[in-house]
Amino acid sequence: MDEPIRILLGEDEIPRRWYNLIADLPVRPPPPLHPATRAPVTPDDLAGVFARELIAQEATQERWIPVPEEVRDAYRLLNRPTPLQRAVRLERYLRTPARIYFKREDLSPTGSHKANTAFPQAYYNAREGVEQLVTETGAGQWGTALALAARHFGVGCKVFMVRSSFEHKPYRRHVMRLYGADVSPSPGPETTFGRRLLEREPEHPGSLGVAISDALEYAVGSPTRRYALGSVLNHVLLHQSVIGLEVQQQFAKIDVVPDHIVGCVGGGSNFAGFAYPMLGETLRRGGEGPEFLAVEPTAVPSMTRGRYEYDFGDTAGRTPLLKMFTLGASFVPSPIHAGGLRYHGVAPSLSALVDAGRVRPLAVGQAESFEAGVLFARTEGIVPAPESAHAVRAAIDLALEAKRTGEAKVIAFNLSGHGLFDLAGYAEHLEGRLGVAAGTGTVVPA
Ligand SMILES: Cc1ncc(COP(=O)(O)O)c(C=O)c1O
């Protein structure tokens, strides 16, 4: 029989353990530092900010962390295990000998991979008696995921949404409210930091760094609240490993070994979730394995043009200092449509891997990524999120390179989300109205 287009797993094959790459890194990434004392952060420093179990997971060196049954059960609600799918129509269109596979994280009811960590975070907080989870969101994917997860486990949810998205992208705000979350624009009048910014600049558009400062200040303002973060930190990355662990099983089922592993990068949890289980295997084998390609927007070139140094995760300087590739905590990226990639820094573990040459960073322009998104929609029928379209672009370019060299390469990328709330961006692209940071706009040949 021909290989199936969708490689499926049964519900009993949802991973029972998350994978923690830190256990397999030859050199541990430098520790987070306290923002005031500059000493390595201790679990006590984070008490009152995050749930205790999440603080323990943040620091653990264990390779495997058990997935609680309640979370495995909730993963079913998220359509886990998600299919690994072959992009045969795209391959035919490109006339490439390469095989292209993509993981269907777009099938989550909240629209992206973000729910894979939102659910365990809400679970641990609920178990520890937390009454309200507080977070920030840019375009809204993370806020939507946390809103549903909090509802599922019976915890309240407060989301500070970057003001420009709050005003100009109302649909995700509506979905968060529909799930029961309280959504406020950031900067806003509820925090000292927000009030200060608005006094100086009443029309301040906000940024992810500002929204993190707002959410942190609000969260630590009451002992019944805790803060939740949707990327960058180790515990977030390890929850996302459920993606890559499924992919490993799926490739094993069809006896295929990938040559290229591709994911887009905002703070790094999407790339890490998809790639780290396979990267860990590569590290354990002494370096032999696929190429790992981390794709960022040219408008936010932290890995390709940033500095590898200690920096804050937020604008107000409240978070611990992380050693990471960064454009600077006050960097405000141009308003590209891939809102989930507009973050100034990259997860410390991913930064260390890029610095060591284990992961290849690549920057892709906005127009090039939308062009790839349109081609993917026209061939495969799925509208990728503008974030995911960056990975689609890189996968297409690898497939075209394979065509030039005549090699039957196997390319796998993570389709981290769907773009059905991002049609305004696609419309601007189709109508030739995309502005700054449009990239080089390479033409995809027929
Ligand atoms: C659809 C989608 N893909 C990828 C990303 C980037 O995720 P990460 O911050 O985990 O790198 C985001 C972030 O919001 C997203 O919404």
**Mean per-residue pLDDT for 206-219?**
93
With respect to residue 100, please indicate whether it lies within any of the assigned structural domains: yes
Please give the residue range of the domain that contains residue 82.
6-10+75-111+235-430
pLDDT, tens only, 268-325: 999 999 999 999 999 999 878 999 999 999 999 999 999 999 999 998 899 999 999 9
Cα-to-centroid distance, 233 and ligand 1 (Å): 14
263 lines ligand 1 (CB under 6 A): no
For residue 182 the two structure tokens come to 């309280």
Position 296 in a domain: yes
**Which mutation among 121, 146, 176, 231 tests ligand 1's pocket best, with the greatest number of atoms within 8 A of CB?**
231
Length of the chain in terms of residues written: 446
Q: Residue 133: enclosing H or E segment and its boundaries?
A: strand 132-137
Nearest CA to ligand 1 atom 10: 269
Q: Is residue 188 part of a domain?
A: no
408-417 pLDDT, tens digit each: 999 999 999 9
- Give me the torsion for CA of 236, 230, 341, 279, rounded to 10°: 10
Per the rule left: phi > 0, alpha: psi between -120 and 50, beta: everything else, 206 is left
Asked if residue 407 belongs to a domain, the reply is yes
- Does residue 435 carry a pLDDT above 70? no
CB 346 within 8 A of CB 372: no
Chain position carrying tokens 């609600």: 77
| Model pLDDT, residue 93 | 98
Q: Is residue 120 part of a domain?
A: no
Say if 285 falls within a structural domain. Answer: yes
Q: Does residue 315 fall inside a structural domain? A: yes
201 part of a folded domain: no
Question: What is the pLDDT, as a whole number, of residue 149?
Answer: 98
Query: CA–CA separation, 5 vs 379, rounded Å?
Result: 14
Whether ligand 1 lies within 6 angstroms of the CB of 269 is answered as: yes
Cα of 416 from ligand 1 centre, angstroms:
7
Residue 439 has pLDDT above 90, yes or no: no
- Tell me how many domains the chain contains: 1
Strand 410-415 versus strand 99-104 pairing type: parallel
Rounded to 5 degrees, φ, ψ at 3 are -60, 135
Q: What is the CATH number of the domain that holds 351?
A: 3.40.50.1100
Query: Where residue 442 falls among pLDDT bands split at 50, 70, 90?
Result: very low
Contact 392, 369 (CB under 8 A): yes
Determine the residue of 105, 107, 110, 113 to mutate for testing ligand 1's pocket, defined as the one with the most ligand atoms within 8 A of the Cβ atom.
113
Q: How far apart are CA 115 and CA 123, in angstroms?
A: 12
Chain segment 349-404, per-residue pLDDT in tens: 999 999 999 999 999 999 999 999 999 999 999 999 999 999 999 999 999 999 99
The whole-angstrom separation of Cα 58 and Cα 327 is 24
Taking the centre of ligand 1 as the mean of its atom positions, its distance from the CA of residue 290, in whole angstroms, is: 22
265 CA to middle of ligand 1, Å?
7
The three-class DSSP label of residue 435 is coil
Q: What DSSP assignment string belongs to 398-446?
A: HHHHHHHHT---EEEEEE-BB-TT-HHHHHHHHTT---SS----PPPP-
Closest CA to 119 of 84, 43, 67: 67
**pLDDT score, position 332:** 81
- pLDDT the model gives residue 205: 87
| CA end-to-end span of the chain | 29
Per-residue pLDDT band for 1 (boundaries 50, 70, 90) equals low
Determine if ligand 1 sits within 6 Å of the CB of residue 385. yes
Taking only the tens place, the pLDDT of each residue in 170-201 is: 999 999 999 999 999 999 999 999 999 999 99
| Residue 264 CA, ligand 1 centroid: distance in Å | 7
